[in-house]
A = this chain, B = another copy of it.
Amino acid sequence: MDQVAEAAGVSRATVSRVINGAPSVDSKIREMVQRAIAETGYVPNVAARSLVTRRSNSVALVISEPDRPDNHSFLNRIFTDPYFGRITAGATSALRPHDIHLVVIPTDSTDHHQVVRYLRQGHVDGVLLISSHEQDTLPRQVHDLGIPAVVSARPTSPIAVSYVDVDQRLGARLAAEHLLNRGCRALATISGPLDIPSGLDRLDGYRSFLATRGFPTVPSIEGDFTRAGGEAAARQLLTDFPDIDGLFVANDLMAEGALRVFQDLGRRVPDDIAVVGFDDSSAALDCRPLLTTVRQPVEEMAAEMAEVLMAHIATPGRLPRSVTFQPSLVIRDSA
């Protein structure tokens, strides 16, 4: 920087002004400085800048999932799950125009302290926290750190933190309505894990809506949001309730598994059983028949999370606020 200053015949302060686009710089001088920068190939040192501005221009995307016995498969599952992929994509696209970079940090409950340490060290200006499990303590810990944060779903305990969510119950209702409209009368569901709010909300939204339409008891099998889990649940369901004709599956991955089982067992979809998924992930298009599903705009939600986070970073005292997206039904071939 001294070199640039000398080359341009000005002081360091002026070089700094030019670099940071300060308005009160004579245009001639600005030009000289810019030429000097180009000639010397000068690039600001971010560490020095961060030291004084206390900004790192990067945010963490923390993906918190419960323990897995085998760490290898844990990382694999996370980075291979299209849901997290969509989140990453959405956050990246919102952050990029602001020249803010994403540090991706997967974590299970065994290394929360590492994550907390990382955050405290000031590596990042804020956190996008993807945490779904009810008993996850990370949201609270992050909140207590006092660092700007946005979480991906309504926190289970009342924490004053901004979050972005989709109207889960409405989504489930959309699915129920559609199955009803098709004429299905023997309804069931494969739910998500019931220790996850979204799993619970989708199940509850489905059942409570159907209750108002004269279906007081709707059978449900709990799944785990994986394809294999969907297969197992579908088999179970068919064993316990062979006569069902309408099924809501709490995410697309499980629905894909279920579809496969139905095919293997010779049930025609949607004629014998109509199936509605949830997410509208790429998996919905990888199924046969193409999956009718409740669309959750994950990319847009992640982008919104990023926007809200940037607002929090820009104005520290800002009050937390929550944004809820509306799901919509995407009708394809399975229902």
Contact = CB atoms under 8 A, between A and B. Distances in A.
Interface stretch (A87-95, A206-214, A267-275): A87-95
Give the interface SS of chain A, mostly helix, strand, loop or mixed: helix
B47 A72 contact: no
B50 A122 contact: no
B101 A101 contact: no
A220 interface: no
Given A78-B89, A79-B85, A101 B123 contact: yes
A299 B43 contact: no
Contacts of A122: 43, 45-47
Interface residues of A, number: 51
Contacts of A282: 80
A318 interface: no
Interface stretch (A26-34, A103-111, A181-189, A326-334): A103-111
Interface stretch (A8-16, A113-121, A148-156, A168-176): A113-121
B76 A89 contact: yes
Contacts of A255: none
Interface string A66-83: 000001100110111110
A284 B88 CA distance: 24
Given A72-B89, A80-B282, A103-B104, 11 more contacts: A45-B51, A45-B121, A48-B51, A75-B88, A80-B85, A80-B89, A85-B85, A92-B106, A101-B118, A102-B104, A256-B286
Interface of A: 43-48, 50-51, 54, 56, 58, 71-72, 75-76, 78-82, 84-86, 88-90, 92-93, 99, 101-106, 114, 117-118, 120-123, 227, 256, 260, 263-264, 282, 286, 288, 299
8 contacts: A50-B50, A72-B93, A72-B299, A75-B93, A79-B85, A80-B86, A101-B118, A103-B103
